[in-house]
Amino acid sequence: MTKHSGGHKHKKQFGQNFLNNGRIIDQIVASIQPKTNNHMVEIGPGEAALTEPLLDVVKRLDIIEIDNDLIAPLKIRFASKAAFNLHHTDALTFDYASLLEFEPDQPLRVVGNLPYNISSPLLFHLLEYSSQIQDMHFMLQKEVVDRLTAQPGSRAFGRLSVMIQYACQAEYLFTVGPENFTPPPKVDSAIVRLVPFQQKPFIAADEAIFADLVKQSFAQKRKTLRNNLKGWLDAEQIENCGVNPGARAETIPVEKFVELANLYQQIKLQSQAD
């Protein structure tokens, strides 16, 4: 995460907005509660407002930064710190499991200020490593945090809500207004805590099928499940899961999507066996 010092010009393609309020940074660190034995990963440190307090506490901090112009300043400031490890790479394609080779039994704690244009794909990418992650604290556009934490029946509840809440406990922590950034964005930001379940409360028999069915269910948000899942499940099969086929996907809880996906998988396996 970034606190603006005036030395770096923000870049539109990376969605850079630098935090300029030390009180907010302290509030974020207090929410994370870094511990001495933690192995932390920071995505997009920018001018290192959060990097510095983390390095003062944790035994290892792996930093993922794509901006060429920020690499040298980060090295100059922190190369002498034993915990500091810099990866000049794209967070969207980075293999986070590779970090576990340093300490296989220590799960990762991930933090970052995620630009709007990559937030959803990056979250989906990180979910692939959820079994190796202890928790994640992110600053995102408030609209995205609303979607991550939305409940069924809310207009914000969608595919991202279902996929995140299937894998994690999602908690809205606090809002950060535009005045706390340079340059000020046009929207509010917010801090979210995501804690991957050690044991998921609802288990999809085939998580690829589950992901595909959720995506299809929200393919056209104004359409009912009966219409969106045409060719997947018929109305009677949807009803067998205790779901109204005339309902829209945004009203269906996570566990029911799991049931629908598991039923579809059973039907598919049965048809292959016949």
CA distance 85 to 88: 10
- In 230-258, which positions are buried (b, 16+ CB within 10 angstroms) versus exposed (e)? eebbebebbeebebebeebbbebbbebbb
Query: What is the pLDDT of the chain when averaged over all its residues?
Result: 92
Q: Contact 216/179 with Cβ under 8 angstroms? A: no
* Domain boundaries 12-196, corresponding CATH code: 3.40.50.150
Residues 6 or more apart from 129 whose CB is under 8 A from it?
Answer: 96, 97, 108
Residues 6+ apart with CB under 8 A from 163: 124, 127, 211, 214
- Between CA 161 and CA 170 the distance in angstroms is 9
- The CA-based angle 129-127-268, given to 5 degrees, is 105
Task: Tell me the whole-structure pTM to 2 decimals.
Answer: 0.91
**Torsion angles phi and psi, residue 138, rounded to 5:** -130, 145
Give the CATH number of domain 207-273: 1.10.8.100
pLDDT digits (tens, 9 = 90+) for 105-147: 899 999 998 888 899 999 999 999 999 999 999 999 999 999 9
Outline which parts of the chain fall under CATH 3.40.50.150. Answer: 12-196
Give per-residue pLDDT as tens, 198-255. Answer: 999 999 999 999 999 999 999 998 999 999 999 999 999 999 999 999 999 999 999 9
> Please, are residues 34 and 89 in contact by the beta-carbon 8 Å criterion?
no
Task: Enumerate the CATH 1.10.8.100 domain ranges in the chain, comma separated.
Answer: 207-273
Taking only the tens place, the pLDDT of each residue in 13-70 is 444 577 878 899 999 999 999 999 999 999 999 878 899 999 999 999 999 999 999 9
